Amino acid sequence: MLYIRITISFLLVIGLLTSCGTEMNNSSGRNSQDIQLTKISTKGNIHDQTAANRAKEILSKNDSVTAVQAVNTSNKMLITIEIPHHERFLLEKKRKELQKKMEKEFPDYKVELSTDKKIILELEDLEKKLREDNISNKKLEKELKHIIKLSKDQA
């Protein structure tokens, strides 16, 4: 009877270790799921989103970024990123590092980079309005200013 309990315990431990090992291997790489980039093209007199699209491309090449959104006006750019849950301990360091990289890459813009979920959702909504051509320049400036203010208030 003791031999059966030991054998069952051993098999359970081996099963747990192999399932955890598989989980860790899948979460460390991004090969199973690549970042979906939504490039924003604007028509008419809305601010050109070329800089925001370029920022998305640059940040999407970073292994620790799983999602990225960006919107710019003539002199401001707001970027939001998401990173894998297992890298959350390094979140602030990673955010500062990427903020500096974006400021260096876009010296003509006042760049704000956020990892806050509420800001991510707000910027996704703003991107959607831009894609649907549902926003004027004045409204874009106002909404971006509001979202940047929110990001600073929460920081």
The pLDDT tens digits of the residues spanning 112-140 come to: 999 999 999 999 999 999 988 888 889 99
37 assigned to some structural domain: no
- Token couple for 34: 């690549």
The pLDDT tens digits of the residues spanning 70-110 come to: 999 999 999 999 999 888 888 899 999 999 999 999 999 99
Look at residue 38 in the predicted model and tell me its pLDDT: 61
Least confident of 7-21, 60-74, 124-138: 7-21
Query: How many structural domains does the chain have?
Result: 2
- State which residues form the domain around 94: 50-154
**In terms of domains, do 65 and 109 share one?**
yes
**In terms of domains, do 12 and 60 share one?**
no
- Token couple for 138: 């004045």
Spell out the SS3 assignment of 86-102: HHHHHHHHHHHHHHHHH
**In terms of domains, do 88 and 144 share one?**
yes
Q: Give the full edge-to-edge strand order of the sheet including 76-82.
A: 67-72, 76-82, 110-114
**In terms of domains, do 70 and 14 share one?**
no
**In terms of domains, do 25 and 57 share one?**
no
Q: How far apart are CA 120 and CA 70, in angstroms?
A: 9
**In terms of domains, do 146 and 90 share one?**
yes
pTM of the model: 0.71
